[in-house]
Amino acid sequence: MKIGFIGAGKVGCSLGKYLNNHGSEVTGYYDNYETAAKEAADFTNSRHYKELLPVVKESDALFLTVPDGIISVVWEQIKSMPIEGHIICHCSGALTAQEAFSGISGTGAYGCSVHPLFAVSDKYHSFLELSTAYFTMEGDFYALDQMMDLFRSLGNGVQSIDSSKKRLYHAAAAICSNQVTALANQSIEMLCECGFTPETARKVLKPIMCGNLAHVAEAGPVESLTGPVERCDVGTLRKHVECLPEEEDQILYVLLSKKLIKIAEKKNPDRDYEPVQNLCEKILQRNYEMMSKRSL
């Protein structure tokens, strides 16, 4: 299978390098910015294309590794080209193949979304970690079968999902990745208020963050849960909320605590968590009332 890329950003470069390193034939790259296409081609020992049509003609499969909002635009550009029998893929976590590739069934091509469940943060180094990533896929049966076989052959875990669940899937990925980053940033800022430098704050938080995530991944959330919610320590929870000056921070802390109550009840079914639940409801009501009054 000859694989071409339209879009030479972080995902395109990382995926192309990963495929090339594992024996797949990468034909090359086209990008609106020719310099980006040339850099990606040099990086992956492939060719850079100055026009769309040649990369389409010379590839059996095309990855449209462009921003989500541009995928359909690029598709409209190539759908009238000779793509019959081609596999057309995108790497969006939120879009389905059907949403991205309108009318693909009439072209004789096969559409598929191939999403690495991995944060591709660096254009030239993330490929080194892609061997650990799961790839989640949905789309046309033929394209799905071919792509799943390809990534299985590389040693990756693969998972197919129903197209109707694509947004739920991507929201799950964003919560455990992007939103965890927001929580980590808040912890760092709070430690800086305590006198830590940002560098020291990251250093001291690393063992507890990485250790806890490793435990969750290994044993699951129930067995990994510790802390004041799990202990039903209402006094400590109240003190935590009181030290947070912003109402939105208090609300966030309490809403997350309410999620932890459900986990704690599974871990300790004989423990009464009603005091924690009551405290959370009281704090939420107070903050919502204060925010409502200010908006009037």
Over 90: is that where the pLDDT of 200 sits?
Answer: yes
Sheet of 157-160, strand order? 47-49, 25-30, 2-6, 61-64, 87-90, 110-116, 134-139, 157-160
pLDDT of residue 145: 97
pLDDT of residue 191: 97
Query: How large is the average pLDDT for residues 241-255?
Result: 94
Query: Please, what is the average pLDDT of the chain?
Result: 95
CB-count exposure of residue 71 (10 Å: 0-12, 13-18, 19+): buried
pLDDT of residue 137: 97
pLDDT of residue 292: 82
pLDDT of residue 119: 86
Over 90: is that where the pLDDT of 29 sits?
Answer: yes
pLDDT of residue 160: 96
What the block records as the tokens of 188 is 């760092």
Q: Which of 1-15, 41-55, 120-134, 144-158 has the lowest mean pLDDT?
A: 120-134
What percent of the chain is predicted at pLDDT more than 70?
Answer: 100
Please give the Cα distance from 182 to 175 (Å, whole number): 10
Please give the Cα distance from 258 to 134 (Å, whole number): 30
pLDDT of residue 295: 73
pLDDT digits (tens, 9 = 90+) for 100-122: 999 999 999 999 999 999 988 88
Over 90: is that where the pLDDT of 213 sits?
Answer: yes
Please give the Cα distance from 112 to 143 (Å, whole number): 6
Over 80: is that where the pLDDT of 52 sits?
Answer: yes
pLDDT of residue 84: 97
What the block records as the tokens of 5 is 């890329």
pLDDT digits (tens, 9 = 90+) for 157-188: 999 999 999 999 999 999 999 999 999 999 99
CA angle 13, 14, 19 (to 5 degrees): 100
What percent of the chain is predicted at pLDDT more than 90?
Answer: 94
Name the residue among 94, 99, 33, 101 with its Cα closest to residue 63. Answer: 101
